[in-house]
Structure 1
Amino acid sequence: MEEAGDERGWDAEQDGSPDRARRRLESEFLLAVRRAGSVLQLLGAASADKIGINVTDLNCLNILALGGHLTAGELAKRTGLTTASITGVLDRLEEAGFVRRERDPGDRRRVIVRLEAGRGMRDVAPVFAPVIAAWRAVAAQYTDDELRLILGFQEQLEQIMRDRLVELRSG
């Protein structure tokens, strides 16, 4: 039988202890991030299908939209695809009217890839517009300071994933 004042027994019975509650909250957060990542991948696949392209091509379009124009080599590096694979992606995207390739005036060996805004606005934007509107509605529920906190945390999570991506590709 446990003696009065035995701290180990008391701690073991504390379901609501701060450490245990914190670990549970962190576990719930990790699961939420994993679920969101999974749903985001599924959304990407369904969106690509709706647009009429594959997921890799949609990811390349997104990277171009986020980074502005890029060289084919930069796009290959950011995606982790080989230059031969990027050539295939760009062939498909150019044929579909989503991008155009131009020679770099400063270095004719390099190819710069630019988005064709018209095709993107016509075929891509409507697929994502409802999600963007819903995200904005959620964001409206938070103060500017809360959004800055969430954004800072998101940036840290993104950096963790980028660092791991580099590790996986180099190893």
Structure 2
Amino acid sequence: MEIVHLLRAVAVELGLHSARFAHANGMHPTDVRALIALMDARRAGEELSAGRLGTALGLNPAGTTALLDRLERAGQVRRVRGAGDRRKVVVEVTEGAVEFGRSFFGPLIERSVELLHGYDDHQRGAIRDFLEGVRQAAAEPAHTSPDDTSQGEP
């Protein structure tokens, strides 16, 4: 349980780090989550439509439109035609937004990479497998009611 509690503490600290970024830049936490999703899609070479982004963030269409309008006015995203299907509109993060995020999150990312250099390939693989498993578990729908504490402490 020590590792699970440590993971929870890391998740809290990362959430606070993102919240500080959002607050310092007059953004809503969902704006930061949207930019992260768009940067992840960019890194993976995937196009992300407004609908898919909204679904990933748990937003309805009106909320997604308001979010994108806000980020577009701030120069952080743009709506463009899809590369494979020109009829499709996709959302892209701008280079300015990438640099904006890198200026704040870069030191944390660099420190994390430095820490990983202390592990061999096998250990990094185990860490990757563990984190991916936890990510998948967290993405699954809850199977218990909020008042069901039989699954362990929060």
Q: TM-score range by the shorter chain?
A: 0.7 to 0.9
Structure 2 SS opposite 1:102: strand
Q: What is the percent sequence identity of the aligned residues?
A: 31
Please report how far the alpha carbon of residue 167 of structure 1 lies from its aligned counterpart in structure 2 after TM superposition. 9.4
The residue number in structure 1 matching 2:151 is none
Contact 1:44–1:55 (CA under 8 A) maintained in structure 2: yes
Number of equivalent positions: 140
Over 3 Å counting, the alpha-carbon distance change for 1:119 and 1:41 in structure 2 is closer
User: What CA distance in whole angstroms lies between the structure 1 residues aligned with 2:142 and 2:20?
Assistant: 24
How many angstroms apart in 2 are the aligned matches of 1:84 and 1:49? 23
Of residues 9, 19, 22, the one that matches 1:48 is 22
The equivalent of 1:5 in structure 2 is: none
Alpha-carbon RMSD: 2.2
Q: Aligned letter for 2:57?
A: T
Q: Does 1:159 align with 2:136?
A: yes
Distance 1:41 1:149, change over 3 A: same
Residue 150 of structure 2 corresponds to none
Question: Which of 67, 88, 93 is the aligned partner of 1:115?
Answer: 93
Q: CA deviation at 1:104?
A: 4.5
SS of equivalent to 1:141: coil
* Structure 1 alignment gaps of length 5 or more: 1-26
SS at match of 1:60: helix
Normalising to structure 1: TM-score of the pair?
Answer: 0.74
What is the alpha-carbon distance in structure 2 between the residues aligned to residue 146 and residue 104 of structure 1? 39
TM-score (norm 2): 0.82
Query: Which structure is larger by alpha-carbon Rg, 1 or 2?
Result: 1
The equivalent residue for 1:31 is: 5
Q: Secondary structure at the match of 1:97?
A: coil
Cα separation, 2, equivalents of 1:77 and 1:167: 23
User: What amino acid is the match of 2:120?
Assistant: T
Return closer, same or farther for 1:166/1:113 CA change in 2, 3 Å cut-off: farther
1:98 and 1:132, CA in 2 relative to 1: closer, same or farther beyond 3 A?
same
Q: CA deviation at 1:107?
A: 6.5
The match for 2:122 is: 145
Asked whether the equivalents of residues 101 and 112 of structure 1 are also in contact (C-alpha less than 8 Å), the reply is yes
Query: How far has the Cα of 1:120 moved from its partner?
Result: 2.4
Give the letter for the 2:14 counterpart: L
